[in-house]
Amino acid sequence: MVGRTIDGKAVAAGVRGNVAAAVKTLPEQPALAVVLVGDDPASQVYVTSKGKMTKEAGMRSIDIRLPADTSEADLLVQVQALSRDPAVDGILVQLPLPKHISEPKILAAIDPLKDVDGLTEASAGKLVLGKPGLRPCTPVGCVILAKTERPDLSGANVVVIGRSILVGKPAALLFLEQNATVTLAHSKTRDLKMVCRGADILVAAVGRPEMVRGDWIRPGATIIDVGINRLAAPERGPGKFRLAGDVAFTEASRVAAAITPVPEQALLLAGTGVLLQRAPRSITCETVAAATRAARPFGSRMW
């Protein structure tokens, strides 16, 4: 028996429709600025997808691509300028940054009201405290997709593999908000395979291609694969590659009740981005929210 493929496309289409409708109610077209430094393959795929889906939602996409040798000072100036620019409603700095640049310093330069990826200290603090605020898009997408299979997550055993600030930690907190019982696993977790086998819902956010094998999965579990890894594929020709998730899809689909496809699903999660905050919200939705506030002023890589 093969597990169901979770239809993230349908969810994403609904989000884009809702966002596009919200955009039309605003006095000006909202703008999302995405900053990419260097040529990380996965980051390039994400950024291209984000730009495309932002435009599809009726918003203006500002695509800023800088060389890998960009200095920290120059990047800081760029982000500070975007934070001050009233024509920019949302800012997303694609991580990881080159090693010579301090990610915390750059993220701290983002205006919290424009932090559509929910990575500033202000946004993270609100998440921990359970206060309203901008949330990291991919983790919220994970929750929404999990709820398409299990609408009530109360008491569900959720295992999140990966403790990054981008996905792992916020995903754990967001599932906890849904009253799930959450285990945050990582590189130092003992007997990781057995920990994963206890999951009703398994979220893989490691950045290691096909690390999670079929025998790591509890029969009937729901699998959310956040990974997107670019691998050489010489069988397709010189210089060709293929995209793979963190889960061995073929093996896992024989055990799981439901599973997200890759790479399509990872792009939907992070590119649209599928679903930020309470459903149906997204990176693009958060930019709309930031623009609405402006129009109505009272209204690490470690896994």
Residues marked active site are found at: 50, 94, 117
Asked if 205 contacts 161 with a C-beta cutoff of 8 angstroms, the reply is: yes
- Residue for token pair 């709820």: 147
Pairing of strands 201-204, 157-161: parallel
Residue 259 CA from chain centroid, whole number = 17
C-alpha pair distances (Å), 265 with each of 10, 78, 80, 139, 145: 11, 31, 32, 13, 10
Q: Which of 40, 39, 37, 36 minimizes the C-alpha distance to 50?
A: 36
Whether the upstream peptide bond of residue 280 has omega within 30° of 0, thus cis, is yes
